Structure 1
């Protein structure tokens, strides 16, 4: 992994890692209700998620884009996996809400790209 003075080279991969770590922490938090040893997994997963998100930002990815993608993908993936692992329902309204969140993140991403184009970068 890069040192503190070096910029990582693959922001998308770092962001995917941050998302997966955050989802792991969230799912482990639910599992820790019955298995307290999972709190250790929660702590490590969240620390890793924030570290990877910080490294993503060091690559120059805009905060609004990185955080938006991280949060939206985390919410969607957590909801789907909670349904599979814990039999938590996903209602029609929840599904529509997840689609709206993801559409909003897409708008933020497209807006950020448009702003970069106008700035000449």
Structure 2
């Protein structure tokens, strides 16, 4: 796998996360401004499209979805506190930290499995 392919996967995943977070925040704002439902629809369609490209590029579904959903939850919680004044308690911040640790564990585990598979493939004549 080339470096560009790896970079492309991560850029597409970041785009999917950004679109999903934008759509979800717009969903909340659309309660008072119904025209924003267009942004909601475009954001969710774009997020799922970008996520499908990430999967086509070869990222495992467990890794891609885990990172996508966990980052989305964390970003929405933090941004909603700034944009809408939603509560962000110490317990919620602790939960966000645990989400980040969980995502790191998934990614590191995925890399270790990929490395192991690559080594086993090279050892096979």
TM-score by length of 1: 0.90
Q: What's the CA shift string for 1:63-97, capped at 9, x where partnerless? A: 11111111111111111110111011100111111
**What residue number does 1:83 align with?**
81
Q: Return 5+ residue gaps in structure 2 as ranges.
A: 120-125
Higher Cα Rg: structure 1 or 2? Answer: 2
* 1:103 lines up with 2:101 in the alignment: yes
Q: Which range is displaced more, 46-55 or 66-75? A: 66-75
Distance 1:12 1:92 in 2: 30
Q: What's the CA shift string for 1:2-36, capped at 9, x where partnerless? A: xxxxxx94011100100000000000000011011
Distance 1:43 1:120 in 2: 40
TM-score by length of 2: 0.87
Distance 1:112 1:12 in 2: 14
| Structure 1 residue ranges (4+ consecutive) displaced by more than 2 angstroms after TM superposition | none
Distance 1:101 1:88 in 2: 19
Distance 1:113 1:64 in 2: 13
Match of 1:33 among 7, 31, 34: 31
Q: Return 5+ residue gaps in structure 1 as ranges.
A: 1-7
Q: How does 1:1-121 map to 2 (within 5 A)?
A: 9=5, 10-120=8-118
